[in-house]
Structure 1
Amino acid sequence: MSAPFHVPENALLRAKLSRLRDRRTDNATFRRTLAEIGAILTTEALRDLPETLCGIATPVAALDAPVLAAPEPCLVAVLRAGLGLLDGARLIMPDAPVGHLGLVRDEHTLTASEYVVRLPRDLGLRGALVLDPMLATGGSAIQAVARVKQAGATSVRFACVVAAPEGVEAFRAAHPDVPVTSAALDQRLNERGYIVPGLGDAGDRCFGTE
């Protein structure tokens, strides 16, 4: 059975996504909102991490308090646009190690090529949350998760802002063990491989490039 594809029931997340989608949203607002969404998606994607109990003392009494049973997962951003989500994810987990995967998509073949890989050494111990705003054809996400697994991660999760059904299907076929958390499941891909209605090119809108 495939790992779940999850769209959180979260009104605040939906409102922020609408702001991202709006073509009138300027670059600074887009970048800030993408970080805010990154914080929400990180919380949702990691909400079922294994827990254990640890004895602590509050100012009032002692108790067995829930803590994580393993070190926090590594945060892996798919460049460039994944950096926008990473800003928010690091607000939630400021001590988590960070990795970067540089993938660029050929606009004609829609395939992704790798140009930089910087991953923490303890992926096998921690696992990873891979961050990329778009799950369109699925090519970049599939390649990114495969690279993280190759580096030793046995527990991997993927978070995105918008996903197309075609990309979800391809991703689940390639990585049935990896749960996906997305702010929305959109309608389809267009002839250029862009998500419809989508939000345009997240990297360009985040960093003010074309």
Structure 2
Amino acid sequence: MRLHVADHPLITHKLTVLRDKSTPSPVFRQLTEELVTLLAYEATRNVQVESVEIETPVTATTGVRISEPRPLVVPILRAGLGMLEGMVKLLPTAEVGFLGMLRNEETLEPATYAERLPDDLSDRQCFVLDPMLATGGSLGAAVEFLFARGAQDVTAICLLGAPEGVASMKRKVGDRDVTLVLGALDERLTDKGYIFPGLGDAGDRLYGTV
């Protein structure tokens, strides 16, 4: 598994505002969209392309375009939905699927309660959106789900991650083609499985349910 922690002042600035508990939901949503677009730029660095011949106003030349089959963007419900717009803004031709993952707050184990994905993901590049990589349970289960459907490689994009979650992902994915892109790697998890210092519950803050 490859790990990329973004190192850019704009990303750090936006994360600082997201972390602030006084940031209202509308601002939180807008900044999340902007932040994901910045992270998506890093995450799509190795997106598959194919050569194409075009005519410029001056001459014929060769360029590239996103190749078929199209990439698949998979937000993990519910909080991952808040990241979707920022991702498809950069990759508008991508197909979108959905995975509903729920974490048991006592056992911290994930369960899949909904999915809307193609039956066959053979040769597909998949981009999974999940704001918080805490224990790694939900994200790890989502990645396993995609590979079981035949995905070729998976890139996960998270606003924040904890060292425990990164270690868990490394154990789960082994030598499979997985890239993890984080806005920041925080200090640790609390005894309740939350990222510290973190930004709280991303879903609650996105949708104003705190």
TM range (shorter): over 0.9
TM-score by length of 1: 0.93
Q: Which moved further from structure 2: 150-159 or 129-138? A: 150-159
Aligned residue pair count: 208
Match of 1:193 in 2: 193
Deviation at 1:62, TM superposition (A): 1.5
Partner SS, residue 179 of structure 1: strand
- 1:154-188: per-residue Cα shift (whole Å, max 9, x none)? 21111101000000001011013311000000000
TM-score by length of 2: 0.93
The structure-2 alpha-carbon separation of the partners of 1:50 and 1:95, relative to structure 1 and needing over 3 Å to count, comes to: closer
Match of 1:104 in 2: 102
Match of 1:184 in 2: 184
Match of 2:44 in 1: 46
Unaligned runs of 5+ in 2: none
Deviation at 1:95, TM superposition (A): 2.2
Partner SS, residue 102 of structure 2: strand
Deviation at 1:51, TM superposition (A): 3.5
Q: In the alignment, residue 209 of structure 1 is paired with which amino acid?
A: T
Match of 1:8 in 2: 6
Match of 2:154 in 1: 156
Query: Is the 2:120–2:149 contact (alpha carbons within 8 Å) kept by the matching residues of 1?
Result: no
Deviation at 1:87, TM superposition (A): 1.4
Unaligned runs of 5+ in 1: none
Deviation at 1:121, TM superposition (A): 4.1
The structure-2 alpha-carbon separation of the partners of 1:130 and 1:35, relative to structure 1 and needing over 3 Å to count, comes to: same
Match of 1:79 in 2: 77
Distance 1:89 1:72 in 2: 14
Instruction: List aligned pairs for 1:106-145, cutoff 5 A.
Output: 106-121=104-119, 123-145=121-143
- The percentage of counterpart residues that share the same residue type is 44
Distance 1:71 1:141 in 2: 23
Distance 1:58 1:92 in 2: 23
Distance 1:197 1:35 in 2: 21
- 1:31-86: per-residue Cα shift (whole Å, max 9, x none)? 11111112112221111223443211111222111333444310000011101111
Query: Is the 1:119–1:151 contact (alpha carbons within 8 Å) kept by the matching residues of 2?
Result: no
